Structure 1
């Protein structure tokens, strides 16, 4: 039997009903449109008495988790949420956040996973989870490769604004293999295709005989900050498997992005 993890059970713990009510109210008000919610609305939505609701709301206001507007008589989020959110974001380590999802991806596909960020016109591997198979590819943390010739690089470039994209591409796209896209216009078309299907493909463009798929990772501003890929020998990662492999890597990227605070539809927005 799988061991239950903290947070798996979402039901209130005995003796914490008041805390659960407070968190429920906070989440409900956070999801409400501006300018906020009245006492009556909170009581109705949460199905608590007005007296109970008012006591909890006053406590949240006293702790600055909620703010009360006397003129409009509505409750909205308070400044304490900003303090907590800022501290949470400051402590986020992309590698640490992504590693469990990458390990699950490797266990599922039996291929090698890469996590990369972009620096100038190159992508830098900041984490690698090796395939458990005897026949696999070899990559190292710290390796830098041209973004335009890799799946992780193209996944980042595809969701980069046009202005920034110009800065991320070298003046000349130098071929690394016979399959490297060296035409700027063809590369732009390839990036558009990546956005359309949600993932980018490296069809032996960076290294001979190596194929892979990658999907973008977004932060709390829905800005692309990196990418995760799965790759292996072309014989093991054939083109006809791109759809299934792409689906798996997209799911992994979405899981990582969610932990970073990205919205569920971040990949569908225009690059910025």
Structure 2
């Protein structure tokens, strides 16, 4: 069978057929990168082999290729670690790059006006991904690690993004969260929470993950009015902080409007649509 015939069969079979098409070498490379991304320590080829349930023979050449292309770094002890190349590629991606470029100066101003850290989050499947973090100028602060991802309903950022999804997509994400036991609430409670966000245009509530922290999260919109990210201030009360929650919320909303305008957003309410991190 010729290559064109294979391609025609895939096209005739639709999206599911294309997703089921196997590319073993690519799958091994992605397995290795995902395995390495979840580890803080350097690992040997044997540890990669055991962790993936694949033989050394299966992964040896793939590891060599990833090292040669700069995705893996080998130490003197013949152990491997993930390089920063994936991080660099992610920030070369035009939508993320444009979002970060527009948000960074505004967020730097925001931390000075609120004495609080802030971060920028995008939707990634049924999780949220932190793409930008700016720390509070105070010596004591709360912040999240750049590149971290969290269950969508565990965070106010995720709830804000979820509230802007079309109903069918929203229900699919909620169903996945419920099936994985990560929703932390009933469907009725989730619906009420998202409706409240839609009505208010933001969420301000006690963090579900960190005691003593109040999440203040507002949407960021693009040139067609679609929600592309959420700007979140994890508000932590302390003696040196000069601003209360109400003033921080006002500053966060103003900052979100500034970032949205920099992205070309029209004035007024945004559309009920979220651009996911995987979108081109």
Q: How does 1:93-104 map to 2 (within 5 A)?
A: 93-104=98-109
Which residue, 158, 162, 171 being the options, matches 1:153? 158
Return the alpha-carbon distance in structure 2 between the equivalents of residues 91 and 139 of structure 1.
Answer: 18
Q: How does 1:183-194 map to 2 (within 5 A)?
A: 183-194=186-197
Aligned twin of 2:231: 228
Residue 185 and residue 225 in structure 1: after superposition, are their counterparts in 2 closer, same or farther (change >3 A)?
same
Q: Which of these two proteins has the greater Rg computed from alpha carbons? A: 1
Which residue, 164, 171, 174 being the options, matches 2:178? 171
1:106 paired with 2:127, answer no
Return the alpha-carbon distance in structure 2 between the equivalents of residues 203 and 271 of structure 1.
Answer: 26
Residue 116 and residue 123 in structure 1: after superposition, are their counterparts in 2 closer, same or farther (change >3 A)?
same
Q: How far off its partner does 1:192 sit?
A: 1.4
Aligned twin of 1:207: 210
Q: Is the 8 A contact 2:118 2:143 kept in 1?
A: no
Q: Is the 8 A contact 2:215 2:234 kept in 1?
A: yes
**Length-normalised TM-score, structure 1:** 0.58
Structure 2 runs not aligned, ≥5 long: 1-93, 275-280
**Length-normalised TM-score, structure 2:** 0.57
Q: How far off its partner does 1:90 sit?
A: 7.0
Which residue, 121, 132, 137 being the options, matches 1:132? 137
Residue 146 and residue 259 in structure 1: after superposition, are their counterparts in 2 closer, same or farther (change >3 A)?
same
Q: Is the 8 A contact 2:143 2:234 kept in 1?
A: no
Q: How far off its partner does 1:110 sit?
A: 0.6
Return the alpha-carbon distance in structure 2 between the equivalents of residues 227 and 90 of structure 1.
Answer: 14
Return the alpha-carbon distance in structure 1 between the equivalents of residues 216 and 207 of structure 2.
Answer: 11
Aligned twin of 2:250: 247
Q: Is the 8 A contact 1:121 1:167 kept in 2?
A: no
Q: Deviations over 1:12-58 (max 9, x none)?
A: xxxxxxxxxxxxxxxxxxxxxxxxxxxxxxxxxxxxxxxxxxxxxxx
Q: How far off its partner does 1:134 sit?
A: 2.0
Return the alpha-carbon distance in structure 2 between the equivalents of residues 231 and 138 of structure 1.
Answer: 8
Q: How far off its partner does 1:138 sit?
A: 2.9
More helix by share: 2
Return the alpha-carbon distance in structure 1 between the equivalents of residues 261 and 214 of structure 2.
Answer: 27
RMSD after superposition: 2.7
Return the alpha-carbon distance in structure 2 between the equivalents of residues 184 and 172 of structure 1.
Answer: 12
Return the alpha-carbon distance in structure 2 between the equivalents of residues 222 and 260 of structure 1.
Answer: 10
